[in-house]
Each structure stands twice: as structure tokens, then as C-alpha cells.
Structure 1
Amino acid sequence: MKIRTSTLRELKNKGIRFAALTSYDMHTASIFDAAGIEVLLVGDSASDNVLANQGTAPITLDEMIPFGKAVARSAQNSLVVFDLPFGSYEVSSEQALITSIRAMKETGAAAVKLEGAKIDQISRIVDNGIPVMGHVGFTPQTLHGLAGYKVQGRDQENADRLMSECLAIQKAGAFAIVLEMIPAALAKEISIALEIPTIGIGAGSDCDGQILVWQDFAGLGERSPKFAKKYLSLRESLQAAAVEYRSEVQNGSFPAIDQQF
């Protein structure tokens, strides 16, 4: 079944949770799509998980476009969402719209995502027919402004602010909101208050959906955040396979007869 933005709303209304993963290439996109993952996010997390940058801020739109193309071309059913990188939408609603149009035209993605309560930007993009996913709580692009990797909304004042931001983002026309690194109780309150689905990452189990960076999910990185569960130990498996391959090359057992012409 082809997943659309309206599908996520239908799932929320039925009380059915859905899954999302990041993806930046054809292989993970096709595998996760075949597994039934409802949402694939071409995340700016490619910055530190693919391009070896420190954090998400350095990646550019030009660098992200090829990732978006690969994922959108490879996913048959999953909803592909393109993450607008830092610096490509903050200046004005016009800048946000121009960036979103380019992202949609060049990648074939079905929606865009942006961080923060950028209400004017969200409204402008939505008004021009492009679906928008919001993102509040810990917003990696503004890591330095948040003074590091800190859970957001612990005190009542900031909890109230996050709730207000989510309601404003919903009113602006977003079809879903990512809640990152906020207390589980607050995420539950927001999820109940909103008509649109919430997608948690470090926000407890009561969100309508969950998302993980695929390298964290698969155990490919050297370390993973507290909120991530490793469903594989892919880094260990790949390293062991590489060691075995090198050994067979050295001792002459690869290529064997059945690998030769």
C-alpha cells in the first residue's frame, strides 16, 4: 500500500502506530520499503552519519539532493520526506518555498521537513501544495543555541512553550510533527492534544510513530544515543567479514574455483 501523508492521519485515528527510519541510499531505501516501514526520512543526519561532519549543520542542499533522489527512486510504498538543511529555509518564507520546490522537483520526495516553530515558512510551503513535517524539542541544527544535547521541556514553562509550538505548527498546516528528546509524559500530552500524528525520537512510547537514524538502529556507528535500540550489530559483522575477506586474499583461498571463469 502506498503511504501518503493522509495515511498517517488515518493510522493515528485508528490507534495504529507506524515506523520511520532515515535513509540516504538505494539499498537501505528498498530494504526498509520492503519491510513495510511507513516513512523514510532523507535526514540532514547524513551530515554526521555519511559525510563525517560534526553535527548536522554543515551539510548543504546540493549535498543532500543526490541522497533524496536515490531514496525516492528506490522506495515503492514508503512516504519519502526530505529534510531541509540548516541555512536553506530560516531567512524567510520565500527562501523556504524556493528550497522546498527545488527539493520536490529534483528528488521526487513526497514532503519536506523543517525544524522549529517556523510558522510563516510552514504556512507558505503548505499553501503552495507541498506537505510539511514539523520538528520540535531538541533540534539538532540549533545544537549550539540549545547548549548541547539536552532534553527539552523538563520544566513547566518550556513544556507549555513546546505544546504551543506544536499547536501552531498544526494550525499552519503541517501533516505531522517529530518530537525529539522531550519527556515521555509531555510527548503523550502533545500526542493527545494534536489531531496530526506525532513521531517520537527519544520521546517515549506514546507518540503515534517512532523514528530512528538507521545507523543507530542497525548498530553501524561506534556509539548510539540512549534512546536508540540496536536491532543489529552491523558494525561488528562488517568488520568480521572484512577481516575474513582480507585473510582469504592473503592465503590465496579467494577467489576459489567457483569464483573464477
Structure 2
Amino acid sequence: MKIDALKTFKQRSEKITCLTAYDASFASVFDQCGVDIILVGDSLGNVIKGGENTLGVSMKDMLYHTQAVAQATSQALLISDMPYQSYTSAKQTLENAKYLMQAGAQMVKFEGGREHESAFKILQDNHIPVCGHLGLQPQAVLEMGGYKVQGRSEDDAQRILENAKALEGWGVKTIVLECIPAKLGKKISQSLNIPTIGIGAGVDCDGQVLVSYDMLGITQNPPKFVKNFLTNGNIASATNDFIQAVKRQTFPTDKHSY
């Protein structure tokens, strides 16, 4: 999928589907099923490496898994996460983003807002497409006091909205909104010309992403926003069910939202 298609999805009110993949086998299934975006997520720190958080993921990890996924992806847009402490300065951000693009990514994703203004701007200046990530930021989970819903207070909600608008102004192509109230997810989505992709942010985001291991019911004690789609059949049928549920807006429901 071409990057320009993201805005087209939003303009015609068609929901965007996104799943994480970390290897060629899963990526091939998701790609053939027609998932719009495949994300090589730093969530591999949890589901592949067995960690409690994503802080132990390195650039070496991300490059290895990005290369594997890229080998099996021909239709979906491929986005790769920039891991913890890989974008602390503009120079470092540009260098690491280039490595991920050379490994096969079509876009890079990293967390945060105005505190990373120079990082966003240097990638814009060098024509490297960026996906933002606001709300709950797993790489800042220790600072946030754990995996908690963000944006509940009026001030916090306004801060997230202002960061989203700033990211759009710096050329970001799409923004992941994680673990925020559904009402805020809707407000941010309606305030931007670029699409939002929600994960625990309500049905009114312009798309939905799930960690594939969550979607397939592998994860023990998954978050509230997760639904197990592997109830019958195989991985391909579960993937198709996820795609159809997002497109038809039957997922997420209020049960999966905050």
C-alpha cells in the first residue's frame, strides 16, 4: 500500500486495519489476507523476548525483525518502531530511521509529542515518513506509573490533542492513539486531516491496530481493549474476521473501550 492511500482511507471513511508481525511467516499470512498496515512493533519485547515491557528492545532487534517481515510483505504498508532511546537527538533519530528504511520499512514510528520536535522535523526535512504515537506510551511506562489509561483529565486530554495537532504540522502521516477514552479518540480523529489508528481508543478512530498475539488469543491476561479472533478455524480466518470487524465498525465495542 502506498503512503498516500492513508489519507484516502480517511476521506472516504474506510477504516484502516493494522496488525503487528515479527517474522516472515505471520507477515505473509497477514499480507495475503489484505491487512492494510503491518507494524513491526517493539511489542516484540513482550511477546517474543518475554519481557515485562519494551525497554529491552534494541535497534539490532528491530532491524532483524524488520528485514524478516519485509521479505514477506508485498501489499501492506510496512511500519517499524524505533525502540527505546533510539531517538534522543535529531542526529540519532535520522541515523536510526535510515537504518530501518534500509531494512525494508516504508515508515518509522516513535512515541511522544513536542519533546521530540527536532526529531520529527529532521525526518520531515529528509523525506522519511513518520507515524506518531500518543496516549499511553509503552517506552515511558515507568514515568507514567504503569499501563494506565491516559487523557482522563481535561488538562491531559488537551495536551494529547495539542500534541496530535503539532505532529500533523510536522508532516507526520498517521498517529497511533493508545489507551485513551473513546470520547477523546473521536475528538482527536475529527480534529486532524491525517488518520488516527486506535488501540484501546474507541471505534471512532480512523483505524485499529492490535498486537497479533493478542488478536490470536496467545497473550495471557490481555488488556481490556483486546479481542480474541481465533475462536474457530485458523490464523487466516481469524485475520479476515479482524479485518471485517474493523471495516464494519463492529470492533471495538464499548466493551473494548475506555
Q: TM-score band (shorter)?
A: 0.7 to 0.9
Confirm whether residue 207 of structure 1 aligns to residue 208 of structure 2: no
Unaligned stretches of 5+ residues in structure 1: 238-261
The 8 Å contact of residues 19 and 211 in structure 2, kept in 1 or not, is answered as yes
**SS of 1:199's equivalent?**
strand
Q: Secondary structure at the match of 1:41?
A: strand
Q: CA offsets, 1:55-109, max 9 Å, x none?
A: 00111010121110011110110000010000110x211110011011111x111
Structure 1 CA distance, aligned partners of 2:117 and 2:195?
18
Please give the per-residue CA displacement for 1:108-137, whole angstroms capped at 9, x wherever unaligned: 110100000122111111210110000000
d(CA) in 2 for partners of 1:96, 1:16: 32
Report the counterpart of residue 104 of structure 2 in structure 1: 108
Please, which moves more after superposition, 41-50 or 214-223? 214-223
Instruction: Point out the structure with max Rg over C-alpha.
Output: 1
State the distance in 2 between where 1:119 and 1:10 align.
Answer: 26
Q: Does 1:38 align with 2:32?
A: no
Please report how far the alpha carbon of residue 223 of structure 1 lies from its aligned counterpart in structure 2 after TM superposition: 2.3
Q: Which protein, 1 or 2, shows the higher relative CO under an 8 Å CA cutoff with sep ≥ 6?
A: 2
Contact 1:220 1:233 in 2 (8 A): no
Distance 1:224 1:231 in 2: 13
Contact in 1 for aligned 2:21/2:69 (Cα 8 Å): yes
How many residue pairs end up in the alignment? Answer: 232
Inter-partner Cα distance in structure 2 for 1:159 and 1:145: 17
Measured on the aligned residues, the alpha-carbon RMSD in Å equals 1.4
Q: Is the Cα–Cα contact under 8 Å of residues 175 and 195 in structure 2 kept in the other structure?
A: yes
Following superposition of structure 1 onto structure 2, how do residues 75-224 of structure 1 map, counting pairs within 5 Å? 75-89=73-87, 91-105=88-102, 107-117=103-113, 118-224=116-222
Unmatched segments (≥5 aa) in structure 2 = 235-258
Equivalent in 16, 35, 46 of residue 18 of structure 1: 16
Q: Return the TM-score normalized by structure 1.
A: 0.87
User: Structure 1 segments of 4 or more deviating over 6 A?
Assistant: none
2:70 corresponds in structure 1 to 72
